[in-house]
Structure 1
Amino acid sequence: MLVYIIRRLIMLIPILFLVSFIAFFVIELPPGDWMTTYVSQLRASGIELSEQEAQRLSELYGFDQPMYARYLKWVQGIVLRGDFGWSFQWGKPVSEVIAERLPVTLAISLMALIFSWLIAIPIGIYSATHQYSFVDYLATFIGFIGLATPGFLLALILAWAVYEFFGFSALGLHSREYLDAPWSVAKVLDMLKHMILPLVIIGMSSAGSIIRVLRANLLDELKKQYVITARCKGMSEIRLLFKYPVRLALNPVFSTIGWLLPAIFAGEVLISIVLSVPSIGPLLLRSTLAQDTYLTGSIVLILSALTIFGTLLSDIYLAWADPRIRYGGLSR
């Protein structure tokens, strides 16, 4: 197992460099750059900018250099100093811009993940073990609603319902009176109230798919010969259920860590935009529209790294949890 993990970690290095180059190249594909957009905005607002001044700004920000030179400088800063570059849009280092929004994103995403698992896993197990019962039909209905309803639409409906019936605006992270107020217990409680709605919406959108996947896989496992044999030998139902069937049925759930980690980092983009939640997702959208090269490239690079690392974690989990799975000599 250790040799397999080390080998996979070594393979990650060239993959990350390739992903970083592709991300940087794709960001550079649209015509122009942040500097030309900024100069156009200044001139559109009535501020005259001479060609000499525009050229000086272009040289100051490094846009007079070719794409490969700026890419190498960016990668060198990340590898040697942990410097992800400068955000032109925000006028500060990229690491500071990301760090400002990361705690909120992680808090909402992690709580939504735990919330969805706490709801979906027990319901999926009960639904499979009590097939065609009222709870099974109800779980199937909830699963279809969660899968069929877009998250942003659900966010709009629930945000309106909360305001209409409770007189509480769930948009943003703070009520108006706490926007500029210093941190206090009341401000923290107000923030927690605003986090409930995005937590429930994000959690419900993923809980539906988990219920359906877990139910289907557990039904398949319960029909297999080893379960029938264990029942004939007198093994109790609870021990039989959690010994192997549930453990194997959960494989598809935990194998999604590859896309789960970047989702936790970025959050649900559309839901965050609708509810005005200052998370990483809307930041990525804004930086892409503004052609903020280093900020966009850094977020894409981090998302790609989390995807690759999450895939490695899911592979390790599957190799441990399911003895039928073999990865080239891992079990030899």
Structure 2
Amino acid sequence: MLMYLARRLLLMIPTLLIISALIFIIIKLPPGDFLSNQIAELRAQGEGSAMERAEYLRHQYALDRNLIEQYAIWMGFIPGPNGFAGLLQGDWGWSFEYNRPVSELIGDRLVMTAVINFFTILFVYIVSFPIGVYSATRQYSWGDYGFTLLGYLGLATPNFLLALVMLYYFNIWFGMSIGGLVDEHLIDAPWGWEKFKSLMAHMIVPVVVIGTSGTAAMIRRLRANLLDELQKQYVTTARAKGVPPMKLLVKYPIRMALNPFIADIGNLLPHMVSGSVIVSVVMSLPTAGPMLLGALQSLDQYLAGSFLMFLAVLTVFGMLVSDILLALLDPRIRLTGGKAK
């Protein structure tokens, strides 16, 4: 297992490097950049001092160099002008739109995004696992039909529409402020028990809204996998030998049916960030999604690149976690790449 972990961790390095190069190329594909557009606008307005500031930033962050040099400086492979260190040395660059360092902008948003993701994943697994097992073991019962109907409704209902409905009723029933993750008077307040309670209360709506579609999909997937396992010969043989139903269900079919369930962790982590952009905009959530969308629209390359690299790290790390859990869960998966020991 230790050798497997070492190989996977070493493989993550070239994987992230390739992803970083693709991210940088895609960001640079649209013509111009934020400062080029700003300079063109300032020239039209005849503002010389602001133009000098924009030209200084172009040189400061190497936007006046070729694409390969810009990428190497952004990653930190070569030293940049005026002390720009690059990602590998913890310098995430400058946000031209907000006129602030990227590290000062995304820190709180990444923390809030991570908190929402954590509770959303817990919600998805806690709700979908028992429902999926119940639907598979009681196929074609009224409960199965009811959960199937709820699953289809969860898949068919747009997240932003569900967000608007829940915000309205939570405001009517519980008097909760609409949007955000804390009450308005606590936004700039230091963290304390009151602000924490407000955060937990406001977390309910975004967690349910963002996790609804994922929960519905997980229920359908687990039900189908478990039904397939329950129809196999080893289950029939175990029943004939008198193995108790609950012991049989937990020891064999559920473990085998969980393989795709666990494998989805790799896709679930980044999806919770990138897939909830519209919901975050509708609910005014201070998360990574809305700022990433704005950075891509304004060609704020260092801000957008930092968010996209964060998503890449989440994806690679999620794949690593899912592979390790699969190896521990299913003895048929060999860590030696299919070679017999």
2:47 is matched with: 48
- Structure 2 residue aligned with 1:73: 73
Which structure 2 residues correspond to residues 89-108 of structure 1 after superposition, within 5 A? 89-108=97-116
Query: Would you say the 8 A contact 1:267–1:279 is kept in 2?
Result: no
Residues 267 and 280 of structure 1 are in contact (CA less than 8 Å); yes or no, is this contact kept in structure 2? no
What is the TM-score when the length of structure 2 is the normalising length?
0.88
Equivalence for 2:10: 10
CA distance in 2, matches of 1:313, 1:52: 48
8 Å CA contact retained: 1:105, 1:267: no
Task: Trace 1:1-332 onto structure 2 (pairs within 5 A).
Answer: 1-40=1-40, 42=42, 48-49=47-48, 53=52, 54-76=54-76, 77-78=85-86, 80-264=88-272, 268-326=276-334, 328-329=337-338, 332=341
Q: What is the SS of the residue equivalent to 2:110?
A: helix
Bigger shift: residues 256-265 or 277-286: 256-265
1:183 shift after superposition = 4.1
> Cα distance 1:224–1:253, how it changes in 2: closer, same or farther (>3 A)?
same
Higher alpha-carbon deviation: 260-269 or 119-128 = 260-269
**Whole-angstrom distance in 2 between the partners of 1:132 and 1:90:** 56
Cα distance 1:164–1:79, how it changes in 2: closer, same or farther (>3 A)?
Answer: closer
On the 8 A contact 2:117/2:269 being kept in 1, the answer is no
Distance of aligned partners of 1:181 and 1:312 in 2 relative to their CA distance in 1, 3 Å threshold: closer
The answer as to whether partners of 2:43 and 2:51 remain within 8 angstroms in 1 is no
Normalised TM-score (structure 1): 0.90
Q: Identical aligned pairs, as a percentage? A: 47
CA distance in 2, matches of 1:321, 1:78: 40
Paired AA for residue 14 in structure 1:
P
The whole-number CA distance in structure 2 between the counterparts of 1:126 and 1:109 is: 26
Letter aligned with residue 114 of structure 2:
L
SS in 2 for 1:116: helix
Unaligned runs of 5+ in 1: none
SS in 2 for 1:172: coil
What SS does structure 2 have at the residue aligned with 1:131?
coil
Cα contact 1:101–1:279 (8 A) shared by 2: yes
Partner of 1:227, secondary structure, is helix
CA distance in 1, matches of 2:275, 2:116: 8
CA contact 1:272–1:281 (8 Å) conserved in 2: yes
Q: Could you give the per-residue CA deviations for residues 248-296 of structure 1, whole angstroms, max 9, x where no partner exists?
A: 1111111012212223555721111110101011121111112111121
Q: CA deviation at 1:331?
A: 5.3
Conserved? CA contact 2:136–2:227, under 8 Å = yes
Q: Which moved more, 1:223-232 or 1:295-304?
A: 295-304
Contact 2:61–2:93 (8 Å) recurs in 1: no
Unaligned ranges ≥5, structure 2: 77-84
Q: Does the CA contact (< 8 Å) of 1:84 and 1:95 recur in 2?
A: yes
Deviation at 1:119, TM superposition (A): 1.0
Q: Aligned-pair distance for 1:71?
A: 0.9
Cα deviation 1:116-138 (Å, max 9, x = unaligned):
21111011111111111121111
Take 1:134 and 1:197, find their aligned partners in 2: how far apart are those partners? 28
Deviation for aligned residue 1:322: 2.0
Instruction: Report which stretch shifted further, 47-56 or 196-205.
Output: 47-56
**Distance in 1 (alpha carbons) for counterparts of 2:311 and 2:128:** 26
- Cα distance, 1:128–1:28 mapped onto 2, change above 3 Å: same
Higher relative contact order (CA 8 A, sep 6+): 1
- Aligned residues of 1:106 and 1:264 also touching (Cα < 8 A): no
For residue 250 of structure 1, give the secondary structure of its aligned residue in structure 2. helix
For the 8 Å contact 1:4–1:330, the answer to whether it is kept is no
Greater displacement, 157-166 / 142-151: 157-166
Would the aligned equivalents of 1:89 and 1:292 in 2 still touch at CA under 8 Å?
yes
Shift in Å, 1:302? 2.2
CA–CA separation in structure 2 for the residues paired with 1:270 and 1:331: 48
Output the amino acid matched with 2:234.
Y
Q: What is the total number of aligned residue pairs between the two structures?
A: 331
Mapped contact 1:105–1:266 kept (Cα < 8 A):
no
Question: In the TM superposition, what whole-angstrom CA distance separates every residue of 1:120-174 from its partner, at most 9, and x where no partner exists?
Answer: 1011111111111121111101111111112112112222333355553331123
231-240 vs 312-321, which moves further:
312-321
Specify whether residues 147 and 250 from structure 1 end up closer, same or farther in structure 2 by C-alpha distance, changes over 3 A only: same
Change (3 A) 1:26 1:55: same
Of 209-218 and 143-152, more deviation after overlay is shown by 143-152
